[in-house]
């Protein structure tokens, strides 16, 4: 079933003209009353998949969302677009609650947001029985599965609702779910023959890069210096690290702050808000930061340490570039990270089965971080989207690492593993190879073996990089059951005794990858940025008045669209992607006057279609007659008339009736009809009984057409 009304709503409420893949199919499916599981990357446009159908269906749509902050933002954004929406969560007063209930019962609400713990109360259950329901949408649905990375017990109980309202469609949505998690979500929520929609997880606008964590503070400083003032997030593994790093960077003059779950709510809110309002350039945070933010202009993400799994990593980098513009993700990884994360799992009280899954996930993360092939493909494969062609936006695609024959290096390492009796871990092995006399080496008697010092000429970090590759290629393995000691494998023998060739990659990170994306700004871009800045200042003011985050008023993307097209009239503004009807009515005039003001002040710099109309318009508004305007502007008076006619058709307040009489209009209309509604002035003039000046014919025509159009409406 195809529903065409959805296009009307899409333009009216959201101001968009087309759906993204596969939004339209999802909506048709939902509108036909069936269950669905939607896997779409962050920023892909999940919310529209239930919000829009909700407006087309009878009754109220129930949206389960785990985070109050996120919930409030969606609710505020929808309200500003003219949608009847409400939220129920535990931070509400009794009175607010009763208000919402009253509105619900009188059918005044199309979408109701509820936190999962509220949804499971008997009070809510009772309320539901008195409502006509359109659909249920379960946001962040991975929380229902222990296979996901953010299990919430409250979520599992939602299947009670599914069982109770079997005739109401259930839609589960998430940005993060591997194959096992997807199946589990359907099972746990008791979805009825759900159709699974998986959109591509590829984020083409994000350049991903992974580097060994040597001297990472210096590397971060260099990275930041290149980025100038762009917004970003640095993810750290521990709370303490967020604080330490933030303080250190602040001392170096950076405008940053830290965020973690151990801070009190007030501080967390303040940091989050300052970041959202562009007052802080970046945040050093634990993974607690991000779930609740919806900031579209985050340009970069740094992982200061390696995350514990690819789900988390990919979700975190997905917070960058939500506006579709280029963004960067830089990952630092080290063996120490790996060991620490592994220890977290070791020390947790989880069941053995669960631990096994966590170990496997951690291994995949390590493989990703240290890979020499296309990283995007590794992630996509992980999420079940099999692909082999290179992505072109990861470091390995942009600057393919050059592998070289390094059999001798491999032999030295493997021989040392054997001669140390397969009894040493990575770090100690490197010390042996490099001929270190530290206590542990001497105590083990390793300074006596033949390969002691055989790898002096290779730096510590390079040894680490090489041995990691040998591990990845299967020539040596880490024995997790025996203190992470290195052991040989069947492949080791081939290298040591049968002359098997080994190829390794020299990882010298270069800044070329980081530089692959940004290009020098052209004049045009600079001007656009200035206009965007003006619009943002206005937005900050509006946001303050309304007490909502700025992006709820307008997303940055919309301002970029405006800056690119510079609409000078309301009619043109309505054509801009992202401008819906209600926002147009509410803010259209403000925006147009900002654009007009900017274009006028930059008169010499900007070429805008319609700028000449604007100049005429400004003089007209000052009360000048067409003749005077023509004189001031040094152009023909007839041209001025055509400007005024144009502005009039764009619904600007121009009183054309003062220049042409009703009798003349009637005469022109007759002639125009006789001429077969021909628009050429000369053709119309042919049919006129009494001649009328051309510029008046033009004005009359504009009036006639507008009258016809308003009758059609």
Q: DSSP labels for 376-394?
A: HHHHHHHTT----S--SSB
Taking the complex as a whole, how short is the minimal distance between the CB of residue 505 and Zn ion, in angstroms? 15
**Which residue, 305 or 561, has its beta carbon nearer to ligand ADP?**
561
Q: Considering the rule CB under 6 A, would residue 43 count as an interface residue with ligand ADP?
A: yes
Closest listed residue to residue 416, CA positions, set 504, 492, 328, 335 = 492
Q: Considering the rule CB under 6 A, would residue 46 count as an interface residue with ligand ADP?
A: yes
Which residue lies nearest ligand ADP, judged by its C-beta? 45
Q: Considering the rule CB under 5 A, would residue 391 count as an interface residue with Zn ion?
A: yes
Q: Considering the rule CB under 5 A, would residue 210 count as an interface residue with Zn ion?
A: no
**Which residue, 505 or 570, has its beta carbon nearer to Zn ion?**
505
Distance (Å, whole) CA 668 – CA 699:
10
Any idea which residue has 């269950």 for tokens?
Answer: 35
Contact between 301 and 316 under an 8 Å Cβ cutoff? The reply is yes
Taking the complex as a whole, how short is the minimal distance between the CB of residue 78 and Zn ion, in angstroms? 37
**Which residue, 206 or 233, has its beta carbon nearer to Zn ion?**
206
Per-residue tokens: 201: 């997880």
Q: Considering the rule CB under 6 A, would residue 48 count as an interface residue with ligand ADP?
A: yes
Per-residue tokens: 120: 């499971």
Q: Which of residues 314-333 bind ligand ADP (CB under 6 A)?
A: 322
Q: Considering the rule CB under 6 A, would residue 555 count as an interface residue with ligand ADP?
A: yes
Report the C-alpha dihedral over residues 385, 389, 394, 399, rounded to 10 degrees.
160
Closest listed residue to residue 240, CA positions, set 260, 210, 216 = 260
Q: Considering the rule CB under 5 A, would residue 394 count as an interface residue with Zn ion?
A: yes
Contact between 258 and 245 under an 8 Å Cβ cutoff? The reply is yes
Q: Considering the rule CB under 6 A, would residue 20 count as an interface residue with ligand ADP?
A: yes
Could you tell me which stretch among 17-25, 246-254, 438-446, 589-597 binds ligand ADP (CB under 6 A)? Answer: 17-25
**Which residue, 42 or 297, has its beta carbon nearer to ligand ADP?**
42
Taking the complex as a whole, how short is the minimal distance between the CB of residue 29 and ligand ADP, in angstroms? 16
Q: Which residues are CB-contacts of 651 (< 8 A; sequence separation ≥ 6)?
A: 569, 570, 571
Taking the complex as a whole, how short is the minimal distance between the CB of residue 329 and Zn ion, in angstroms? 12
Number of alpha carbons in the 13 Å side-chain half-sphere of residue 515: 7
Q: Tell me which DSSP letter residue 44 carries.
A: S
Could you tell me which stretch among 36-44, 253-261, 395-403, 453-461 binds Zn ion (CB under 5 A)? Answer: 395-403
* Residue 376, contacted partner among ligand ADP, Zn ion, none, CB below 5-8 A by kind: Zn ion
**Which residue, 129 or 388, has its beta carbon nearer to Zn ion?**
388
Report the C-alpha dihedral over residues 200, 204, 205, 206, rounded to 10 degrees.
90
User: Which of 3, 7, 16, 195: binder of ligand ADP (CB under 6 A)?
Assistant: 16
Taking the complex as a whole, how short is the minimal distance between the CB of residue 277 and ligand ADP, in angstroms? 17
Q: DSSP 3-state assignment of 329?
A: strand
Q: Considering the rule CB under 6 A, would residue 7 count as an interface residue with ligand ADP?
A: no
Taking the complex as a whole, how short is the minimal distance between the CB of residue 576 and ligand ADP, in angstroms? 12
Distance, CA of 564 to chain centre: 21
Contact between 64 and 116 under an 8 Å Cβ cutoff? The reply is yes
**Which residue, 16 or 509, has its beta carbon nearer to ligand ADP?**
16
Q: Strands of 147-192 (E only): list them.
A: 170-174
Could you tell me which stretch among 14-22, 188-196, 203-211, 345-353 binds ligand ADP (CB under 6 A)? Answer: 14-22
Site size with Zn ion, rule: CB under 5 A: 6
Any idea which residue has 């023509």 for tokens?
Answer: 630
| Count of CB atoms situated within 10 Å of the CB of 683 | 15
User: Which of 374, 478, 513, 532: binder of Zn ion (CB under 5 A)?
Assistant: 374
Burial 47-64 (b: 16+ CB within 10 A, else e): bbbbbbbbbbbeebbbbb
Taking the complex as a whole, how short is the minimal distance between the CB of residue 46 and ligand ADP, in angstroms? 3
User: Which of 137, 331, 397, 700: binder of Zn ion (CB under 5 A)?
Assistant: 397
Where do contacts with ligand ADP occur on this chain (CB under 6 A)? Answer: 16, 19-20, 23, 40, 42-48, 322, 555
Where do contacts with Zn ion occur on this chain (CB under 5 A)? Answer: 374, 376, 390-391, 394, 397
């Amino acid at each position: 079933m195809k529903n065409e009304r959805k296009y009307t709503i899409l333009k009216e409420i959201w101001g968009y003209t087309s759906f993204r893949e596969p939004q339209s199919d999802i909506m048709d499916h939902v509108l036909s009353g069936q269950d669905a599981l939607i896997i779409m990357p962050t920023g892909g446009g999940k919310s529209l998949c239930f919000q829009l159908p909700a407006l087309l269906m009878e009754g109220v749509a129930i949206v389960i969302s785990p985070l109050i902050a996120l919930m409030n933002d969606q609710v505020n954004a929808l309200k500003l677009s003219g949608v009847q929406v409400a939220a129920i969560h535990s931070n509400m007063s009794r009175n607010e609650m009763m208000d919402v209930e009253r509105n619900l019962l009188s059918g005044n609400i199309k979408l109701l947001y509820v936190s999962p713990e509220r949804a499971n109360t008997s009070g809510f259950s009772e309320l539901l029985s008195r409502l006509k329901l359109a659909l249920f949408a379960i946001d962040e649905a991975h929380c229902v599965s222990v296979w996901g990375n953010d299990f919430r017990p409250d979520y599992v109980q939602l299947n009670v609702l599914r069982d109770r309202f079997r005739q109401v469609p259930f839609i589960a949505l998430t940005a993060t779910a591997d194959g096992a998690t997807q199946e589990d979500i359907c099972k746990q929520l008791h979805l009825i023959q759900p159709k699974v929609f998986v959109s591509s997880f590829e984020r083409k606008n994000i350049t991903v890069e992974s580097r060994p964590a040597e001297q990472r503070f210096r590397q971060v400083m260099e990275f930041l210096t290149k980025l100038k003032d762009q917004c970003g997030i640095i993810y750290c593994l521990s709370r303490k690290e967020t604080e330490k790093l933030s303080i250190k960077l602040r001392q170096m003059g950076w405008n940053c702050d830290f965020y973690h779950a151990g801070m009190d709510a007030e501080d967390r809110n303040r940091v989050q808000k300052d970041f959202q309002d562009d007052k802080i350039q970046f945040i050093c945070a634990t993974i607690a930061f991000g779930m609740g933010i919806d900031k579209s202009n985050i340009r970069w993400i740094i992982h200061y340490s390696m995350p514990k799994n690819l789900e988390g990593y990919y979700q975190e980098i997905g917070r960058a570039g939500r506006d579709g513009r280029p963004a960067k993700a830089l990952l630092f990884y080290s063996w120490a990270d790996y060991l620490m994360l592994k220890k977290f799992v070791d020390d947790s009280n989880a069941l053995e089965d669960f631990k096994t899954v966590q170990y496997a996930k951690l291994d995949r993360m390590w493989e990703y971080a240290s890979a020499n092939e296309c990283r995007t493909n590794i992630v996509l494969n992980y999420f079940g989207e099999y692909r082999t062609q290179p992505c072109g936006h990861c470091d390995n695609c942009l600057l393919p690492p050059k592998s070289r024959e390094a059999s001798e290096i491999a032999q030295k390492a493997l021989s040392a593993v054997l001669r140390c009796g397969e009894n040493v871990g990575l770090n100690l092995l490197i010390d042996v190879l490099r001929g270190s006399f530290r206590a542990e080496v001497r105590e083990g008697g390793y300074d006596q073996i033949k390969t002691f010092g055989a790898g002096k000429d290779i730096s510590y970090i390079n040894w680490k990089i090489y041995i990691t590759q040998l591990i990845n290629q299967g020539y040596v393995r880490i024995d997790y059951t025996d203190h992470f000691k290195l052991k040989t494998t069947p492949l080791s023998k081939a290298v040591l005794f049968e002359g098997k060739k080994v190829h390794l990659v020299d990882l010298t990170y270069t800044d070329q990858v980081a530089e692959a994306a940004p290009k020098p700004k052209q004049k045009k871009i600079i001007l656009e940025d200035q206009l965007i800045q003006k619009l943002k200042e206005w937005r900050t003011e509006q946001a303050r008045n309304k007490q909502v985050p700025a992006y709820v008023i307008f997303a940055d993307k919309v301002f970029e669209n405006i800056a690119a097209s510079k609409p000078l009239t309301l009619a043109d503004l309505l054509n801009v992607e992202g401008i819906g009807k209600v926002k147009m009515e509410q803010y259209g005039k403000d925006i147009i006057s900002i654009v007009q003001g900017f274009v006028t002040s930059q008169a010499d710099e900007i070429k805008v279609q319609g700028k000449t109309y604007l100049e005429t318009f400004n003089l007209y508004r000052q009360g000048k007659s067409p003749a005077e305007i023509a004189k001031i502007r040094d152009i023909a008076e007839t041209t001025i008339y055509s400007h005024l006619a144009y502005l009039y058709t764009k619904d600007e307040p121009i009183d054309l009736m003062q220049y042409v009489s009703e009798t003349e209009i009637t005469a022109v209309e007759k002639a125009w009809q006789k001429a077969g509604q021909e628009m050429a002035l000369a053709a119309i003039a042919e049919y006129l009984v009494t001649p009328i000046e051309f510029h008046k014919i033009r004005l009359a025509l504009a009036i006639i057409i507008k009258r016809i159009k308003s009758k059609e409406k």
